[in-house]
């Protein structure tokens, strides 16, 4: 099973399950501690300059936007990022906070390309290593398993592999070629959930994306949540707990925290605001103006929600959400 090929991409974070074990033992707690705090406190405490950061989910869906805005307000610099979220990652890049990106996809699907990514990549300002969507999810899964890599059959033969930090080996059981994906244990993960208790026991509705894996592949984990529920409710439906409390460091109550993205069953994405943002993102100056108004210009999520249209807008996007 010797290594046949290695992608030329930089491995931003060398897999090291042994170090992770020691770190998690020292820093994670099984204590039932109330972890509720606001965005400001959570980001101050748990996000640091230079951190390797990851978010969930994808596109404009269930994105931890209120946390991303607070990171920008606090100007956390030099971030390395796992680029499988989309909108919340893009605004961090737009604010000039990201130096290195493990990228899968950054764009708006049918709404088009990301101007922010184009500028950052074409200027050479952003160092990018390539992966596929599944590869990044599997890298988190490897970390969640507590092992240094996972073998897969994707990425092989492509430039996506050549510009990644994966390896090709020969399988000792079958002789076939396998792509080995290095595990990614994030310094900090951000996930927006439907509900959780004060300890961080969290439930999600609908597809779970890669929340399960990312929660288990984060040294520090910040949850933002539409709603805080009682622990009795958690204990009644323990089979609904996707993220258990001992993985969680902070619980931030953030209703409409995914705005302008959508939140399954609760509210639909705010097309009007999203298009306004995308239009602004065409040029550096208008991007800056957008950030000045909607990010730097507000103190917290409540002020932001007021600014984007308050109750009227929130009721409107709520009314567009489909039930089950």
Residues that bind a second copy (CB under 8 A): 1-3, 14-18, 145-153, 167, 169, 171-174, 176, 178, 180, 182-183, 204-208, 236-239, 324
CB of 268 to a second copy, least distance (A): 18
Q: Which residues are CB-contacts of 200 (< 8 A; sequence separation ≥ 6)?
A: 35, 221, 223, 243, 244, 245, 247, 248, 249, 250, 251
Give the nearest distance from C-beta 239 to a second copy in angstroms.
6
Shortest Cβ distance from residue 292 to another protein (Å)?
Answer: 25
CB of 79 to another protein, least distance (A): 18
141 or 220: CB nearest a second copy: 141
Cα(151)–Cα(163) distance, rounded to whole angstroms? Answer: 18
> For residue 301, which of 94, 45, 39 has the smallest C-alpha distance?
39
31 counts as binding another protein under rule CB under 8 A:
yes
Closer of 145 and 298 to a second copy (Cβ): 145
Site for another protein in 160-179 (CB under 8 A): 160, 163, 168, 176-179
Considering the complex, state which of residue 76 and residue 267 has its C-beta at the smaller distance from another protein: 267
**Residue 186 contacts which entry, a second copy, another protein, none (Cβ below 5-8 A, type-dependent):** none
- Alpha-carbon distance of 78 to 94, in angstroms, equals 13
Question: Which of a second copy, another protein, none does residue 60 bind (CB under 5 to 8 Å by kind)?
Answer: another protein
Indicate whether 201 belongs to the interface with another protein (CB under 8 A). Answer: yes
Q: Which is it for strands 3-6 and 167-170: parallel, antiparallel or unpaired?
A: antiparallel
Asked whether 267 and 256 are in contact (CB, 8 A), the reply is yes
Q: How far apart are CA 301 and CA 212, in angstroms?
A: 26
With the CA atoms of 289, 293, 297 and 300 taken in that order, what torsion angle do they form, in degrees rounded to the nearest 10? -130
Within 85-124, which residues bind another protein (CB under 8 A)? 103-107, 109-110, 113-114, 117-118, 121-122, 124
Pick one of another protein, a second copy, none as the site partner of residue 312 (Cβ within 5 to 8 A by kind). Answer: none
213 lies in the site for another protein, by CB under 8 A: yes
24 belongs to the binding site for another protein (CB under 8 A): yes
Which of 309, 312, 307, 279 has its CA nearest to residue 294? Answer: 307
Q: Across-strand partners of 196? A: 202, 228
Tell me the pairing of strands 167-170 and 177-182: antiparallel
């Amino acid at each position: 099973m010797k290594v046949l090929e290695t992608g030329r991409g930089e491995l931003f974070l060398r897999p090291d399950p042994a170090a992770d074990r020691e770190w998690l033992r020292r820093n994670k707690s099984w204590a039932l501690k109330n972890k509720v705090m606001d965005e400001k406190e959570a980001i101050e405490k748990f996000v640091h300059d230079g951190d390797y950061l990851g978010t969930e989910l994808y596109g404009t869906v269930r994105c931890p936007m209120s946390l991303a805005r607070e990171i920008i307000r606090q100007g956390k610099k030099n971030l390395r990022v796992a680029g499988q979220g989309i909108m919340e990652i893009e605004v961090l890049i737009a604010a000039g906070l990201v130096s290195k990106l493990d990228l899968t996809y950054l764009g708006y699907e049918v709404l088009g390309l990301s101007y922010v990514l184009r500028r950052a990549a074409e200027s050479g300002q952003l160092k990018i290593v390539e992966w596929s969507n599944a590869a990044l999810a599997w890298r988190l899964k490897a970390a969640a398993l507590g092992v240094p890599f996972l073998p897969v059959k994707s990425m092989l033969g492509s430039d996506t592999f050549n510009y990644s930090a994966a390896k090709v080996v020969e399988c000792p059981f079958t002789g076939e070629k396998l792509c080995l994906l290095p595990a990614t244990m994030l310094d900090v993960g951000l996930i927006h959930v439907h509900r959780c208790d004060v300890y961080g026991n969290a439930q999600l509705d609908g597809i779970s994306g890669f929340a399960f894996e990312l929660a288990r592949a984060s040294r520090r984990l910040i949850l933002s949540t539409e709603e805080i529920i009682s622990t009795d409710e958690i204990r009644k439906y323990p089979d609904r707990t996707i993220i258990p409390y001992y993985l969680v460091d902070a619980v931030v109550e953030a209703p409409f925290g995914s705005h302008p993205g959508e939140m399954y069953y609760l509210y639909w994405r705010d097309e009007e605001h999203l298009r306004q943002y995308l239009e602004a993102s065409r040029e550096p100056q208008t991007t800056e103006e957008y950030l000045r108004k909607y990010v730097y210009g507000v103190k917290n999520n409540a002020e932001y929600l007021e600014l984007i249209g308050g109750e009227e807008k929130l009721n409107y996007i709520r009314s567009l959400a489909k039930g089950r």
